[in-house]
Structure 1
Amino acid sequence: MTGESRKAFLREALTATREQTLRLLDRVPEAFLRTRVHEFYSPVGWHFGHIGMTEEFWVCREASGVPPLDDRLSFLFANLPENPKEGRGELPSRAEIKDYLARTRQRTLATLETAHFDAAKPLLSGGYAWEFARQHECQHQETIAELLQLIHQTMGTGPDSPAGRVWSTSAAASAETEMISVPGGTFLMGSDDPGGYDNEKRAHPVTVAPFALDKTPVTARQWTIFLDDGGCRRPQLWTPEGWAWRCRENTLHPEYWKPGERGGFLYYGIGGLRPLHPDEPVSAVSWYEADAYARWAGKRLPTEAEWEYAAAFAPETGRRRHWPWGDPVAVCREPSADAETYADQGLRGDGPLPVGSRPRGTSALGLQDMAGGVWEWTASPFLPYPGFEAFPYDGYSKDHMDAAHFVCRGGSWATAESILRCSFRNWYVPTYRQGFLGLRCAAGTR
């Protein structure tokens, strides 16, 4: 791919990504633009400004030598110890944030036109700084979607007379799910893709023993059976730390579930309260909850290596895939034209589709929904791969490689396709449950 065609791809991708960001900004209630609704997050308005600040910092300043537009806004939207989350409520208006995004984007595109993709300079090689800005924006779109859920939960918005969808949980067998036998083998874990993040590198051989993995993620119906069987009241199913957390928080169901007035559950989605579909993947559960469910089911959480092997490895070729369903045709990792037919992704709708709704995205080993739907907790702490080097800064990955964060894989219905690659690593502390977080279970000796 030539430099000009790469620039054309980045220009188009940046534009499409920004259109999605602005649609999200229009959905934020004015009263909550500057309000901090949860201790884990900054106010939602800050995230929009942070998108522009990060883009300007890495693309304009670091890669292109262009000074910032406004030092005050650069500091206001920076993620710095001197600018803590609890002090980020003094934000500009919605119109001013839109203007800041427009002005920073104008400079970003101007630097793209004149850039020389110098392979000797990491931020310029292959247009990395522009690709990094795009993926960073996509990640914050998902964070903003999480905040929209929290806002609706805080507001209690939904039907005047909510009624949960009631489904049968009487048969214990309905908690069972088909499992796929995964043959053991050695594969290259991670990626050397130029557009990948530092924590995905370097690709290195890993051997996985034979195991079995649920064909689809755990569903809302299955989680309800776990609850009905006392799963949240049986300490023997939980780690000591997990049980202490559950008792302290009095956790009785996933974060955004709300008992219906006439039974069943509803769910606070990004558009407000809605019925919970029994076959949608359970979402908004912590690592502690996911681990307890797996124990209750007589299974376990997969390791990160097991998950990636099952998602990416293709026995017929002996090679790994970029996405569970295959590889991009272009070196630039250009998205497929009909990605939505392969994965539940891209913020389409108000929540995840029922499991198995995207059969075209089935992995070579027969697993469904390994990309999109919900992020899936693994048993593995977030640690560096052999040869890891922090880039472009320590704060993204390195500062969290402390064995206190656990890896999530696969992306969610709110994840952009560019992030659905099999090598992408996400991570959270085990108490975090405000995101689009679910699980699928494994069985067999690790």
Structure 2
Amino acid sequence: MTVAVDLPTRLAGVLARARARTTLLTDAVDDADLVKQHSPLMSPLVWDLAHIGNQEDFWLVRAVGGRRPVRGDIDDLYDAFRHPRQDRPALPLLGPAQARSYLAEVRAQVLDILHGTPLSRDSAPLTAGGFVFAMVAQHEQQHDETMLATHQLRRGPAVLSAPPPPVPDSGRVGPAISGEVVIPAGEFRMGTSTDPWALDNERPEHGVTVPAFAIDRAPVTNQQYLGFIDDDGYGRAELWSERGWAHRQAAGLTAPQFWERDSDGSWWRRRFGIRTPLRLHQPVLHVCWFEAEAYARWAGRRLPSEAEWEKAARWDPASGRVSRYPWGEAEPDRTHANLGQRHLEPADVGAYPAGVSATGVHQLIGDVWEWTASTFAPYPGFVAFPYDEYSAVFHGGDYRVLRGGSFGTDQVACRGTFRNWDHPIRRQIFAGFRLARDLSA
């Protein structure tokens, strides 16, 4: 029997899950590692740690609770727009012990505020349906995924561990779910206006007419990507856009990040301090948008638009309606998708038959973020809420949309409408892709 959980208790659990993950990621290394910058692309882990507390202090202690700041003197230090990542190690940051104490003090006040705040759907917009508490939990989980990427860039012995992902049944291994699904032309409802925890860039729901297209049933795998490498995909300028080719040359790209080739021709991958043989049926990981674009051209295909991706993920051809997740409305569990850092790598394609969409597409949620062809832009009727810096300031920039989440994404920050974005050169993120193609009229 399912026991109903009241909203404050549910939100307290979501916040606790995020904090447990933050603690795991920061307690896994010593203080020297916490304050070290492991890559100019990433903040020191101790910056992320205190930034998480500062956002919670601002939005929940001050904005919702109406209380004095726990540490109002550090707002500037942890303003992500004032200080680029490469500059943050030089700032007078809180030390590890100070940061942990700050987070604990903030959280103690937040739990008191949570249980005294009206959360009904007709409450103030910031608290209606528990939005701002869920927003803060999503923010922490997004930084947890960023810190996980920092762990991947970190050099040294492995400090993280997790069980391996599930293995597909023999009938669903790799090639068994190859091929594509045809999605017929027509309108579907994209985005949401009803999900109380959806962020501003997912809103509002609106009709989008999508021409008929075909989309791959599974993400591109390591084995498929090896075909591109073996056919000199990195050496053929005609496969790359002008910008992509310039970046490939400048960055010296020859394979996905963290791949290594031995003298005997075998391929290996470095994963969180462990060197392992390349698993052929895993989705390819740590490729930038330009690499995905070049592979698609080599394969005679293209990347899907984010509207195509979302229609394949949420639209049910039998009813014409959309669902929150590919499999329906049920919250994700370990049978649906590879989420929440349960595993430290993608699962082989075919490992989550319970997560297949109504259109017959696999692993749209979890495993790897999927690059799309779309630039990051607002939906018609977009309203920034509760602040411009979450989405609005990124509109019109050089960003490509990613969909679906990765093995490092928590379920609170992953749904069929969730939108992520990054620069087309980024490879440290847990990103792969799948292919699509136009259909003749």
**Global fold match (TM > 0.5):** yes
Q: Note the 1:17-166 alignment, pairs <5 A.
A: 17-81=18-82, 83-89=83-89, 90-117=92-119, 119-152=122-155, 155=156
Deviations 1:49-98 (A, max 9, x none): 111111111111112211211233443333241x3433322433333322
Choose from 342, 351, 354 the match for 2:336: 342
Q: Residue 237 of structure 2 corresponds to which residue in structure 1?
A: 235
Establish whether residue 413 from structure 1 lines up as the match of residue 428 from structure 2.
no
Q: Residue 166 of structure 2 corresponds to which residue in structure 1?
A: none
Alignment partners' CA distance in 1, 2:5 and 2:340: 27
Alignment partners' CA distance in 2, 1:156 and 1:290: 31
Deviations 1:103-157 (A, max 9, x none): 11111111101112363522121221111111111111111111100113xx487
Counterpart code for 1:112: L
Per-residue deviation, 1:32: 2.6
Deviations 1:368-419 (A, max 9, x none): 0000010000001000000001111111111111151110000001111122
* Identity within the alignment, %: 39
Whether the aligned pair in 1 keeps the contact of 2:201 and 2:382 (CA below 8 Å) is: yes
SS at match of 1:274: strand
Alignment partners' CA distance in 1, 2:94 and 2:397: 37
Q: Decide which moves more: 95-104 or 341-350.
A: 95-104
Q: Note the 1:45-444 alignment, pairs <5 A.
A: 45-81=46-82, 83-89=83-89, 90-117=92-119, 119-152=122-155, 155=156, 177-192=178-193, 193-260=195-262, 262-328=264-330, 335-336=331-332, 339-444=333-438
Structure 2 residue runs without a partner (length 5+): 160-174
Alignment partners' CA distance in 1, 2:277 and 2:30: 22
Structure 1 residue runs without a partner (length 5+): 159-173, 329-334
Whether the aligned pair in 2 keeps the contact of 1:231 and 1:296 (CA below 8 Å) is: yes
Alignment partners' CA distance in 2, 1:390 and 1:41: 26
Counterpart code for 2:290: Y
Q: Decide which moves more: 285-294 or 313-322.
A: 313-322
What is the RMSD of the two structures over their aligned residues, measured on CA atoms? 2.2
Alignment partners' CA distance in 1, 2:278 and 2:28: 22
Residues 84 and 243 from structure 1, CA distance in 2 versus in 1: closer, same or farther, beyond 3 angstroms?
Answer: closer
Alignment partners' CA distance in 1, 2:69 and 2:115: 18
Whether the aligned pair in 1 keeps the contact of 2:158 and 2:272 (CA below 8 Å) is: no
How many pairs are equivalent?
A: 419
Alignment partners' CA distance in 2, 1:407 and 1:183: 23
Whether the aligned pair in 1 keeps the contact of 2:214 and 2:439 (CA below 8 Å) is: no
Counterpart code for 1:237: L
Counterpart code for 1:228: D
Alignment partners' CA distance in 2, 1:180 and 1:127: 38
Per-residue deviation, 1:262: 4.2
Alignment partners' CA distance in 2, 1:147 and 1:260: 25
Counterpart code for 1:123: L
Whether the aligned pair in 1 keeps the contact of 2:149 and 2:428 (CA below 8 Å) is: yes
SS at match of 1:290: helix
Whether the aligned pair in 1 keeps the contact of 2:137 and 2:412 (CA below 8 Å) is: no
What TM-score does the superposition give when structure 1 sets the normalisation length? 0.89
Counterpart code for 2:86: E
Alignment partners' CA distance in 2, 1:359 and 1:4: 28
